[in-house]
Copies of this chain bind each other. A is one copy, B any other.
């Protein structure tokens, strides 16, 4: 039986969501996996918007329970950090003890992105931490995102591939995904 891999990421929000999900699924099949993606299944009807959201959550969680591993797209989404839904899903899979892999299409690391967010106004404070003008500390761990995301993957022996997509292809460039897939296949298949 082929191994199932859950493809977590913000692709569901794209205007070409179906195409992107299909392209990633096909690449996963080519690598020898059975892909599971949010957006694959029909969502049961609900009476309210909130109920509809819950039904999608139920389906996505069910796919994760079925999956043998996850590849999470941690490319910053509408801001400086990864998509929170994807972050939730990475945590979910870590707790289940399933192999976790991730990639990002942005070469700039977490620290640099936060510096940019503050237009460079980040300085070392008395307590030894870098802080923005609002006093919030700036994580400085040579990581692609928050340490719970990056650290959880490293500690489990998973891989994080850092790509460098053109800005207009931030959500569509599949170079880093392909590399991540290759690593996951080498490890799991």
Question: Contact residues of A with B, CB < 8 Å?
Answer: 12-15, 17, 48-50, 52-54, 56-58, 60-61, 64, 78-85, 87-96, 114, 117, 125, 131, 135-137, 139-143, 145-152, 154-155
Contacts and interface: CB of A to CB of B under 8 A. Distances in A.
Majority-rule SS of A interface residues: helix
Nearest to A117: B78
Contacts of A135: 14-15
Given A95-B96, A137-B13, A88 B49 contact: no
Contacts of A52: 141
A91 B98 CA distance: 14
A88 B141 CA distance: 18
Contacts of A89: 91, 148
A39 to B, nearest CB: 11
Contact of A139 (B53, B81, B136): B53
Contact of A54 (B14, B91, B117, B151): B151
